Structure formats: structure tokens, C-alpha cells
Structure 1
Amino acid sequence: MQDYLVRGVSVDGSFRIFAARTTATVEEARVRHNCWPVATAALGRTLTAGLLLGANLKGEDILTIRIMGDGPLGAIVVTANAKGEVRGYVQEPQVHLPSTPAGKLPVGAAVGRGQLHITRDLGLKDPFTGSVDLVSGEIAEDIAHYLTTSEQTPSAVALGVLVETDNSVVAAGGLLLQLLPEAPKDTLEKLEQNLAQLPPVSALIHNGETPENIIDRVTRGIEVKILEKKPVSFNCSCSRQRLEDLLVGIGKDEVTAMLEEQGQAEINCHFCSEQYRFDRDDLLRILDRIEKEKSKPES
């Protein structure tokens, strides 16, 4: 089934809500980066959070989540756009830790202590970046803490990734609920009751429930208007041309060294693990480009 995201708002204007199924998206990230289960769960939760937060973006806006923990996973970096596209990586994808006493993947221990940074590039002169200390390393709590403290938007976040014994992702998804100013007290009480009864999102997705079903569970007793339903996917903006431009940018000396020492260059994209190979002829052509661009008169 195709991954997709649903965006809605309460009819009384007291909150907005987003829910997504991201199973195929997270599985593609797992395969691309050859992640072991705890890394799959941490990266998958962050990818899902990126898509949920990205649903508020417009046009060419880009959102970047950086989780910089001191645990064995290292950094987790995810970028999302307004089109429902997301990409990301975890610094150390092959990490194994024992399960928690409850039998869960120990994401918090694998992430560790550190900081969460969220950058919104809205096409203005300077992107806006907010930062908070990680409260648990479990991702959902950290995102909710960031939204509530850094952006002053009280939020509830639920993120889940269910990994099978063969390491594959069998269910992934998430929920984001954001309160708007002056939400009525009775609405808040209903939301709190419904959230308290909500099973894990990954279990709901695994049982065949849709993002619409999840929204219905959270908003039981409250009238909600669905504003949008759109597909989401893992999609990286890297390309051979972009990597060639990067090689031009690093300059003649570096490219000449690659040519003389290896006779070729192999570059991997951090975000999607796609490998680009530039052979001897490619490097000679790139050196020619560098020379031509150097000789262009300055405007």
C-alpha cells in the first residue's frame, strides 16, 4: 500500500492534526543504508517526523531535523519538503543494543543525550534554526518538547516503527496534534482522554488502520475537517550533475590528486547511499570545466 499523509483541522479552529503511514518510506531508507533494527527505528521515527512537520511547508520550503546525540547511533539527519518527499541518514546504521525490559528497541539509549535542531528554510535570507536538549532520545517526546518550548505550540507527537525478525519494516507511521490559541477546555479534555487510549501507532498501522482511522481515534467526539491527503515517499535530490558540480567546486588541485592517485573518483550521497563513479575521462572533462570557468571574465 502506498504511503500517504492526511492533514486536518478541527471545525472550531482549536487544533490541527496530521497522520501518516510511512512503512514503504522507512523500509526504503533501511535498505539503502543497510540499517540494523535500532537504527531503523530511530531513523524511521525521524523520517516520519520530518514528513509530519513538512506538511506545513509551502512551495520550495525545506525542513531539516538534526538529532545530535552522544549514543552509539551518532547523528541522525533528515530533510523534508512541501511535496511529501523526505530523505535522511543515521551516522552509524549498524548498531546493536539489547532490547528494553518491555521488549522494545532501545532507541533512547542508542540516541543518548544531546540536542535536537530543527531548521526551516523558507527561502528568506537566513533560515530559522531552533534547538532544544533531548529529553529522552525516543524522538517523539523530543519533537513534542521542541514544538512546545521552541515554537510555543503545545503538541502531541506519536511515532512508531515495527521491525520484523528479518530486519524488514512491517509498519511505520506517525501522528502530530498541534493546539491553536485559546482551544476550549472541553476539547482539550476530550483530546487528552483519546490520546491516553491510543495504542502504539505502529501497531495500528500493522493492523491495517489508515491515517484517517488514527485521526478518528484521536478526535473522537470532536468534528474535524480533512484538508489534504497526499502521497509521501523517500526521495533524494542528489544527481550525477550535482556531484560533478561539487567536484568542480573543490578545485583543480583536489581533482588532479584524485586523477593521479586513483584514476577515478567514487562519491556516495550521505542521504541515500547512492554511489556515483567518475572515471578518468570524467575527471579530465571536469578539469577542463574548471579551467574554462577560471578563464571566464568576471562580470
Structure 2
Amino acid sequence: MKDHLIKATAFNGTIRAYAIQSTETVEEARRRHDTWATASAALGRTITISTMMGAMLKGEDKLTVKVEGDGPTGPIIADANAKGEVRGYITNPHVDFELNGIGKLDVARAVGTTGNVSVVKDLGLRQNFTGQVPIVSGEIGEDFTYYFANSEQVPSSVGAGVLVNPDHTILAAGGFIVQVMPGATEETITQLENNINSIPPISTLIREGNTPQQVLEQLFGVGNLRIHETIPVAFSCTCSIDRVKNAIKSLGNEEIDKMITEDHGAEATCHFCNEVYTVDIEDLESLKQ
């Protein structure tokens, strides 16, 4: 099944939920950035959560997420929008460690346990919304749980997981965000907490073939869940050769002449998708004004 996410509510609208299958999306990011296993998990979790957060937006709104810890991966950046499109990169993709004490990829060691998680939302207004919280564990899911509670004042549970094959390709990836709305009873909240703590890891559920809907059904029960929307999800970058040429053009004729005489052309690599764009001498000449 293709990557997708669902928007849902449960318990008469007092619980809001998002769930995603992101295996192919994370694999595309891994392939483009040549990430090693632990770095793949860190980037994959960030991309997965960012995609669900993007789905909370409307229209042409978009957001940028930055996870910047003191670990060897360096900053992790992801952009997402309301259409299920996401792109992202990790500063140092070649990070991998032995499994941690509970037999999982040691994402906290890779990301670091000191630093910040920040979210910038472009909602088409004069000023962007910016929220920032300290990293609490480096496991990313827990860090975004803390972000929602403290920056957006919405009690939430955020889960994201990535399973990596021995050849470093992505076996399974997915996640969920569950949020408590006004009117939720203590009984509902307690039941939900127990269910979240008792189900298998989200990446295991995806690997076993569970859809995002089936994941939420395990959390809420079939009769309690109402699906509102299903959105296809994909790694998608906004870069293009035209953007590169426009950027070069804005540098002015003097800089373009240097590219022609000293470098015999120009080359640019997109941080987000690792696509390489080459501009030859003839194209550079045409950009001069």
C-alpha cells in the first residue's frame, strides 16, 4: 500500500488523531542522502512527524521543523505542507551505532539530549508562527510530545518509528499523533493512555501490514473512530533548475563572469533532496543582464 496519512477523531470528537504510513517516503530520503541506519531512523522520525503536522495546516500553509541536538547527526530539517508533501535532510547522514540497551536504534545518542526543537509555520500572514522547546530525550517522538504540550498547549502523544533492513534500506516507517480536545473525560484519557502504552511500536505495526486506520483502531476501538480525510504522502522537493538560474541571475554580471572564467560553469546541490544542478557557460551567458 502506498504511503498515506489519515485524519480522524474519536470519542465524539474529544480526541483528535493523525496516523501515517511513511515507509516509501523515508526510503526516498534515505536513498537521496545515503543515510546510515541510526541517522535514517532520526531523519525518518522527523520527516514522519513533520508530515502529520503539515496535515494540520490548510491550503497553501507550510511549516519547517528543526531538531538541533548536541549529537553527531547535527541539525535535522524538514519542510511539510497540508498536501502530504515533505522533504528533509540530516546534516551528517553517516551516523550509526550499535543498538541501545533495549535493542533499538540509538536515536537519542545520534541526535543528542541537549538542544532544541523548533517549528516555524508559514500561514500566509505578515509574521510566521514560531515555537521552540528544549529537547527532552532525543528520541524525537517524546520531544514533539513535549513541544505540543508546552508550545501549542495541546496535550498530545506523538509516536514515530523506523525499522531499517541490514542493507540500510527502510523496512517500515510510520507514526501517530493523538491529541486531547476540550470535553474529553478522565475515563477516556486513562483508557487512551493505557492503550498507547500497551500496543506494539508503530514501526512494528506498519511492518506487520497494519494501515494507519488499523493502527488507530487499536488505540480507540473500531466503533469509536471516525475517519475525516485520507491524504497521499510523498517526499517532494520544490527545487528546480529554474530556481537555480534565478538565484545565479540575482548575483549580477560580475559574479556570473567569475563563474564563467574561473569555474567554467556552475553547480548547485539542493540540501533537501541532494539533487545536483549544472549550469554550463552558455546558460550562464544567457543569465547576464
TM-score (norm: length of structure 2): 0.97
Does residue 54 of structure 2 align to residue 54 of structure 1? yes
- Written as runs of structure 1 = structure 2, the 5 A alignment for 1:254-273 is 254-273=255-274
- In the other structure, the counterpart of 1:225 is 226
* C-alpha distance in 2 between matches for 1:60 and 1:251: 31
Tell me the amino acid that sits aligned with residue 5 of structure 1.
L
Q: Aligned to 1:105, what secondary structure does the other structure show?
A: coil
Give 1:97 deviation, angstroms: 2.2
Mapping of residues 169-208 of structure 1, within 5 Å? 169-208=170-209
Match of 2:16 in 1: 16
Give the aligned partner of residue 134 of structure 2.
133
Q: What does residue range 158-173 of structure 1 map to in structure 2 within 5 Å?
A: 158-173=159-174
Rounded Cα–Cα distance in structure 1 between residues aligned with 2:279 and 2:247 = 12
RMSD between aligned alpha carbons?
Answer: 1.1
Partner Cα distance (2:237, 2:65) in 1: 15
Q: Identify the residue that residue 68 of structure 1 maps to in structure 2.
A: 68
Give the Å deviation of 1:102. 2.1
Query: Any idea what the Cα deviations from partners look like across 1:195-253, whole Å, max 9, x if unmatched?
Result: 11111000000011110110001112762211011110000011111111111123333
Is the 1:26–1:172 Cα contact (8 Å) retained in structure 2? Answer: yes
Aligned to 1:29: 29
Distance in 2 of aligned mates of 1:118 and 1:221? 33
TM-score normalised over the length of structure 1 = 0.94
Whether the 8 Å contact between 1:194 and 1:220 is mirrored in structure 2 is: no
Amino acid of the structure 2 residue aligned with 1:44: G
Name the stretch that deviates more: 154-163 or 100-109: 100-109
* Structure 2, gaps ≥5 residues long: none
User: Bigger CA drift: 94-103 or 259-268?
Assistant: 94-103
Match in the other structure for 1:79: 79
In the alignment, structure 1 segments of 5+ residues that lack a partner are 292-299
Q: Aligned AA for 1:220?
A: G
CA distance in structure 1 between the aligned counterparts of 2:82 and 2:164, rounded to whole angstroms? 28
Displacement after TM superposition at 1:254 (Å): 2.5
Residue-pair matches, total: 288
- Corresponding position of 2:275: 274
How far residue 23 of structure 1 moved from its aligned partner, in angstroms, is 0.3
User: What fraction of aligned residue pairs are identical, expressed as a percent?
Assistant: 45
- Counterparts of 1:100 and 1:252, CA distance in 2: 54
- Deviation track 1:239-270 (CA, whole Å, cap 9, x = no partner) reads 11111111112333322222111101110000
SS in 2 for 1:87: strand
SS in 2 for 1:162: strand
SS of the residue aligned with 2:71?
Answer: coil
Quick check: 1:103 aligned with 2:103?
yes
Other structure's SS at 2:147 match: helix
Tell me whether 213-222 or 124-133 shows the greater mean CA deviation: 213-222
Shift of the alpha carbon at 1:11?
A: 4.7
SS of 2:250's equivalent in the other structure is: helix
SS at 1:2's partner residue?
coil
Q: Aligned partners of 1:88 and 1:99: how far apart in 2? A: 24
In our comparison, the structure showing a higher alpha carbon Rg is 1
